Structure 1
Amino acid sequence: MDNLDSIDRSLLRLLQEDGRRTTLDLAERVGLSPTGTSQRVKRLFKDRFITAVRAVLDPQKIGRGTLVFIEVRLDHTAPHVFDRFAKAVAKATEVLECHMVVGGFDYLVKARIPDMAAYQSFLQEVILPLPGVRETHTYASIGNVKPDALLPV
């Protein structure tokens, strides 16, 4: 982040808040010309400070209102087992994120499902058949205390 000045940081904050801001709006807020602002935003994309711009959907409205976190322990901790698991979990559409972690288990899976009634089939048909799965522990979210936190810049 050493190569970011205060204007770059402001642009990153503004775009995190609302990725649909126009170049004119951004320019007015940071005190640059629209051309200068556009060039900076293009550079922020090119240098991968900004990796995507997308719509954030309401999970309830699209039938994915239940958020679950699943600890997954694999039966072996060998590279080929990790690779097979990672490739298979990447194909599961319900899975939003999957992190390899250090601690009492191997992966932490974040998934959105329609409701708890659908959870059992999700576990039996998607998670447990993943390569190498030995044990799981699930935590259902009952409230989001800090949703969509912005990264400090």
Structure 2
Amino acid sequence: MDRIDKKILDTLQSNCKINNQELADIVALSPSPCLRRVKLLEDHGYIKKEVALLDPEKIGLKLSVIVLVGLDNHQPTVMSHFEEEIRFLPEVIQCYMITGQSADYLLKVIVPDLNAYQTFLLDKLTRINGVSSVQSSFILRTICETTSLPLNHLD
């Protein structure tokens, strides 16, 4: 990973639809070596995939909720079951196993409104075997949110 690879990754994080010629110009390479480097970064797993980031409000998803979930025991089978089930809930856009809280998992859930969240909570989340506690915090305003990863440590 050199300075040019870092610049390629940084540029693609902000605009993955940039064409190869424009990218080559930004990183000061000719197009062929630039394309080769991008391909190598993909092949080595630095670039996982390219996606379109949608505006949640434009598609009717107006309520974001941070949810702390506690399990009734910490047997590997119970935790694995929860993790498998949570992957199938489209409302859950992030799930993390955490420490330092009275909960075992932190979820970010996005739904159209409070009624939809109630349905999600009562009909889906709390019906997963092993779930013993749920704490919900509603996001009032997003201060900062990015999908770009910091690359300054790669110097």
Taking structure 2 as the reference length, the TM-score comes to: 0.94
1:137 pairs with 2:135: yes
- Code of the aligned partner of 1:150: S
Amino acid of the structure 2 residue aligned with 1:11: I
Matched letter for residue 49 of structure 2 = A
How far residue 113 of structure 1 moved from its aligned partner, in angstroms, is: 0.4
Are 1:21 and 2:18 counterparts? Answer: yes
Q: SS where residue 51 of structure 2 aligns?
A: coil
Per-residue deviation at 1:149?
A: 4.7
Count of aligned positions = 150
**SS class of match (1:39):** helix
User: How far apart, in 2, do the equivalents of 1:108 and 1:65 lie?
Assistant: 20
> Is residue 88–residue 131 contact of structure 1 (8 Å, CA) maintained in 2?
no
Residues 11-41 of structure 1: per-residue CA shift (max 9 Å, x gap): 0100001111110000001110111000000
For structure 2, the 5+ residue unaligned runs are none
Structure 1 CA distance for aligned equivalents of residues 63 and 44 of structure 2: 36
Q: 1:50 is matched with which residue?
A: 47
Letter in 2 for 1:69: I
- Runs of 4+ aligned structure 1 residues displaced above 3 Å come to none
1:64 maps to: 61
Question: Which residue type is aligned with residue 55 of structure 1?
Answer: A
1:148 partner letter: T
Once the 2 structures are TM-superposed, how far is the Cα of residue 117 of structure 1 from its aligned partner?
2.6
**SS in structure 1 opposite 2:48?**
coil
Deviates more, 1:76-85 or 1:60-69: 60-69
Once residues 60 and 14 of structure 2 are traced to their aligned partners in structure 1, the CA distance between those partners, rounded to angstroms, is: 25
* 2:145 paired residue among 137, 144, 147: 147
Which residue in the other structure is 2:73 paired with?
76
Indicate if the aligned counterparts of 1:95 and 1:110 stay in contact, CA closer than 8 A: yes
Task: Supply the distance in 1 between the matched residues of 2:61 and 2:90 (Cα, whole angstroms).
Answer: 11
**Percent of aligned positions that are identical:** 34
Partner AA of 1:49 in structure 2: Y
Any unmatched runs of 5+ in structure 1? Answer: none
